């Protein structure tokens, strides 16, 4: 099945370069009308020019596609609302949102300024929330929407010197989980992409031969799958160097230990059993944990 996006309208944030640019180009090449958003700042978020977004929009138009440029900061909700309206005024709808905008302010947590922590969270998490909120009523009204969050292996698994980035990126997964549940009855599918790609945000972090394998283009197929009408929902797809995996937040089978005075000691002694991953599950929603715990308690009571 060819993944076709004809008639679809997409917004891609942080699309002035790197991975976002590749996302925008790929969607346009497959028929989507694309609003290219980029503040035009440096990797750390400083500065702002509209030139990067315009250059990508021009590139799409030169190839025969349809595109508009937008220089809004995703941290500014009013500007984001105006960005969405720009797409609606031009094309009448918004079908796809790829939340890709981000910055880095890396330092070890001991040396990190909390203003840098807050700014990274503001761009990645609040930026994704602002953009998702702005398109949400449109997608509800048309009973169709595809939202792709950009998470990270740092958010999923941690990385030295990136406490702010990791916190913001895993928070996007939490946002995805709930929006997917709330959007289901309106045909809105929400997923997360964890890319490994060589961009200006990773420059200097790896040898050149490794970076060459991690071309951003290799990640794009995963975005296309998650943004397409056939997309799953509540799925975390990891992608890099032409390989694809899925990440899951799971719940182990665990143990029932009751509420006795010695439960702390029992738990300490049997923690390895609690962490044993055989038979782990992926709960359908947050209440799944509580239901599982109640079942363990009921089973223990029935066995007495």
List the domains of the chain with CATH numbers. 9-247 (3.40.50.720), 263-303 (no CATH)
Assess whether pLDDT exceeds 90 at residue 76. Answer: yes
Q: How confident is the model at residue 72 (pLDDT cuts 50, 70, 90)?
A: very high
Are the C-beta atoms of residues 108 and 155 closer than 8 Å to each other?
A: no
CA angle 183–189–193, rounded 5-degree value: 130
Q: How confident is the model at residue 52 (pLDDT cuts 50, 70, 90)?
A: very high
Q: Which of 243, 120, 140 is nearest to 190 (CA)?
A: 140
pLDDT at position 50 is: 66
The mean predicted confidence, pLDDT, of the chain is 95
What is the rounded (10 degree) CA torsion for 33, 73, 179, 184? -20
Q: How confident is the model at residue 204 (pLDDT cuts 50, 70, 90)?
A: low
Distance, CA of 119 to CA of 164 (rounded, Å): 9
Q: Is 167 left (phi over 0), alpha (psi -120 to 50) or beta?
A: alpha
Tokens of 170: 């895993």
Q: How confident is the model at residue 198 (pLDDT cuts 50, 70, 90)?
A: confident
Strand-strand pairing, 188-196 and 33-37: unpaired
Percent of the chain clearing pLDDT 90 (strictly above): 89
pLDDT at position 49 is: 65
pLDDT at position 200 is: 59
What residues have CB less than 8 Å from 207, skipping those under 6 apart?
A: none
Report CA Rg, the chain: 21
Assess whether pLDDT exceeds 80 at residue 206. Answer: no
157 a catalytic residue? no
Interval 11-27: pLDDT, tens: 999 999 999 999 999 99
Q: How confident is the model at residue 209 (pLDDT cuts 50, 70, 90)?
A: confident
The full DSSP string for 236-271 is EEEEETTEEEEE---B------TT-TTHHHHHHHTH
Are the C-beta atoms of residues 35 and 56 closer than 8 Å to each other?
A: no
Are the C-beta atoms of residues 50 and 69 closer than 8 Å to each other?
A: yes
From 144, 157, 165, 256, active-site residue: 165
Q: How confident is the model at residue 213 (pLDDT cuts 50, 70, 90)?
A: confident
Assess whether pLDDT exceeds 60 at residue 47. Answer: no
């Amino acid at each position: 099945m060819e993944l076709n996006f004809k008639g679809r309208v997409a917004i891609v944030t942080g699309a002035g370069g790197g991975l976002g640019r590749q996302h925008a180009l790929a969607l346009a090449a497959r028929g989507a009308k694309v609003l290219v958003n980029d503040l035009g700042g440096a990797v750390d978020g400083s500065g702002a020019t509209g030139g990067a977004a315009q250059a990508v929009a021009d590139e799409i138009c030169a190839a025969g596609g349809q595109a508009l440029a937008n220089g809004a900061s995703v941290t500014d909700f009013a500007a984001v609302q105006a960005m969405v309206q720009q797409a609606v005024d031009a094309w009448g709808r918004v079908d796809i949102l790829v939340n890709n905008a981000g910055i880095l302010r890396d330092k070890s947590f001991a040396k990190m300024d909390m203003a840098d922590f807050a700014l990274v969270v503001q761009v990645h998490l609040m930026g994704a929330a602002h953009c998702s909120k702005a398109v949400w009523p449109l997608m509800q009204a048309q009973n169709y929407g595809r939202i792709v969050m950009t998470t990270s292996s740092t958010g999923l698994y941690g990385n030295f010197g990136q406490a702010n980035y990791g916190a913001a990126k895993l928070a996007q997964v939490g946002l995805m989980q709930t929006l997917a549940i709330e959007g289901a009855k309106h045909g809105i599918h929400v997923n997360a992409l964890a890319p490994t790609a060589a961009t200006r945000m990773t420059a200097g972090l790896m040898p050149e031969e490794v970076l060459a394998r991690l071309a951003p283009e290799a990640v794009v197929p995963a975005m296309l799958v998650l943004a397409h009408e056939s997309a799953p929902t509540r799925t975390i797809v990891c992608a890099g160097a032409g390989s694809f995996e899925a990440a899951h937040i799971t719940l182990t089978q665990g143990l029932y230990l009751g509420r006795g005075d010695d439960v702390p000691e029992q738990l300490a002694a049997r923690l390895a059993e609690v962490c044993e991953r055989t038979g782990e599950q992926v709960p359908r929603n947050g209440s799944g944990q509580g239901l599982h715990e109640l079942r363990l308690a009921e089973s223990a009571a029935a066995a007495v």
